[in-house]
Structure 1
Amino acid sequence: MLALALTPEVAVDLVGESLHVVMLLVTLLVVPGLIVGLLVSLFQAATQINEQTLSFLPKLLVTLLVVGLAGRWIVGYLMDFCVSIFERAATLVV
């Protein structure tokens, strides 16, 4: 088996792939809360209700709902990514 060294290109590829995974998972968790926050803000502006806690609870519930619905997929995605990183690390040892 041919062992490869950790070259700058391989390191940049690993960092790029890691950032892609982080952005995907953060987007999945944050975007629904942002959308609900925008809708609640529009409602508050239309009704002139200036209650700080009114926007917190819907965003929290939506985030918990997303974690509940997509949690299994998120954990599986992270596990697959970790396994692929460890498999690559085994081939990079000189």
Structure 2
Amino acid sequence: MSQQDVINIARNTIWVIIETSMPLLLVSMIVGLVISLFQTLTSIQEQTLSFVPKLLAIFIALMLMGSWLMNTIVEYMTQLWSNFSQYIR
């Protein structure tokens, strides 16, 4: 197994991590921004107000995108394990 193989595996792994975490992070960021705007407009200074809406939004996003996230991870792991014999040479 060459250094290039290791770099390719690491690059693909990082890409799958980014690809699967980005939708949830974007949902959390958008909900946090909306709550922050609401707090600014209403002069509410409660720091914990954004926690529950973010949690609910991430839960809903996981319910909607969960199958896609799982399929992406399973496809990558299947590809990685099917080529395992090439990597141990």
Q: TM-score with structure 1 length normalisation?
A: 0.89
- Picking from 73, 82, 92, the partner of 2:77 is 82
Report the alpha carbon displacement of residue 92 of structure 1 after superposing the two structures with TM. 2.5
Verify: 1:37 aligned to 2:37, yes or no.
no
List gaps (5 residues or longer) in structure 2: none
Between the aligned partners of 2:23 and 2:84, the Cα distance in structure 1 is 28
Q: Is 1:66 the equivalent of 2:58?
A: no
The higher radius of gyration belongs to 1
Task: Name the SS of the counterpart of 1:52 in structure 2.
Answer: coil
Letter in 1 for 2:2: T
Between the two proteins, the alignment pairs up a number of residues equal to 89
Q: Which runs of 4+ in 1 moved over 4 A?
A: none
Contact residue 31 and residue 54 of structure 2 kept, 8 A:
yes
Which consecutive unaligned segments of at least 5 residues does structure 1 have?
1-5
Q: Among the aligned pairs, what percent are the same residue?
A: 28
What displacement does 1:51 show?
1.3
Distance 1:22 1:92 in 2: 21
